[in-house]
A and B are shown apart, each in its own frame.
Chain A
Amino acid sequence: MTPQVYPEKYFSKIFIKGNKRGEILIENIIFIILNLIFLTILVLFLLRQGEGAVALEESYAKEIALLIDSAQPIMTMQLDMKDAIEVAEKNGINKKDIININRNIVTVKLTKDSGYSYSFFNDIEVSVYPDATSNNLYVIKLNGYRNE
């Protein structure tokens, strides 16, 4: 009895068939890893946007300007700026340099390259400094009207 000769094509089919389980496993793992990478990037993007320095700078500058607008002389206000202080410290900004008031313009700076300014119409002398008794508070002190 002469041995049966199988064509080469047939061998390759057997080879592929024999390895199919392994291939499916690797493909699935790569697919899952890619999905995870994709979703992780998406979640990181959303988190970064939520605690972004630019949005915080704008919201704090406007909030402080409105607080000063509605305040009277010899008032002292304390503002909780925990999230802004955390972002500023991450970006190497000194705590006392976060808020700066030049005449009637408030500037909040949380990164070295950015900063947001907003003006207030109350013509009053204001001084701002970090609260010595708390790590998260800032003190806004209204001294008196300018033209008195």
Chain B
Amino acid sequence: MNNRGDKLISVYWFAILILVAGGIIAMVLIFYGAQYDVREIEGEIMNNKISDCISYKGLINENVFEKNYQDNLLKNCHVTFNVEESWTDIQYYFDVKIFGIENIDETVAEFSEGNKNLISSCEIANENYEKLAKCSNGKFYAIGEENKQYLIQILSIVRKSEKNVKQ
């Protein structure tokens, strides 16, 4: 009777071991299966890159007011939107709004590059929508000709969800 009881305990023991091991394996797979989401950092770096292109050492680049410069912004700012072959759509977007300090309600210049469809992702910034694109905002002041002051707002968006969020 006692021997039978021992065997019964060992069966339960293994059942508990299997349950614990299953739990540990599931947790490890979830932890290591998740991808590293670097889109927020990527967006911030893009923000800095565009900022350097618009203004340097606090002085605004006067070329940004020219249509020709704005049309070739990617080339002028040394940015490329080429991505891996797995995507056919553009995975980036950025826009720049320049305000004169004397009238903050109206933009002096406004231009953008990339996939405009990504803008809607910024309005639904929520933990439950991680597969949407990540947005990064930046704001700074710069001085132009004749000490004219400007407020510059930059919005950068990075999608690349398939490579940053578990599908």
- Which residues of B sit under 8 angstroms from A109, Cβ to Cβ? none
Q: Is A66's CB under 8 angstroms from B41's CB? A: yes
Question: B81 to chain A: closest CB distance in Å?
Answer: 7
Alpha-carbon distance A121/B83, docked complex (angstroms):
8
Do A42 and B24 form a contact, CB below 8 Å, given A69-B49, A121-B92?
Answer: yes
Task: State which of A35, A50, A119 has its C-beta within 8 Å of the C-beta of B82.
Answer: A119
Q: Is A121's CB under 8 angstroms from B81's CB? A: yes
Q: Is A58's CB under 8 angstroms from B36's CB? A: yes
Alpha-carbon distance A145/B80, docked complex (angstroms):
11
- Which residues of A sit under 8 angstroms from B25, Cβ to Cβ? 42, 45
Q: Is A46's CB under 8 angstroms from B80's CB? A: no
The range of chain A's interface size is 35 or more
Alpha-carbon distance A58/B162, docked complex (angstroms):
13
Task: State which of B6, B24, B41, B46 has its C-beta within 8 Å of the C-beta of A121.
Answer: B46
In the assembled complex, B38 has its CB within 8 A of some CB on chain A: yes
- Which residues of A sit under 8 angstroms from B21, Cβ to Cβ? 38, 42
In the assembled complex, A123 has its CB within 8 A of some CB on chain B: yes
- Which residues of A sit under 8 angstroms from B13, Cβ to Cβ? 31
In the assembled complex, B103 has its CB within 8 A of some CB on chain A: no
Q: Is A38's CB under 8 angstroms from B46's CB? A: no
Alpha-carbon distance A26/B75, docked complex (angstroms):
77
Alpha-carbon distance A80/B10, docked complex (angstroms):
48
Binding site for B on A (CB under 8 A): 20, 23-24, 27, 31, 34-35, 38, 42, 45-46, 49-50, 52, 55, 58-59, 62, 65-66, 69-70, 103-105, 117-119, 121-124, 145-147
Binding site for A on B (CB under 8 A): 3, 6, 10, 13-14, 17, 21, 24-25, 28-29, 32, 35-36, 38, 41-42, 45-46, 48-49, 74-75, 78-84, 92, 163
Known: A121-B46, A121-B80. 5 other contacts (CB 8 A): A46-B24, A49-B28, A146-B78, A146-B80, A147-B75
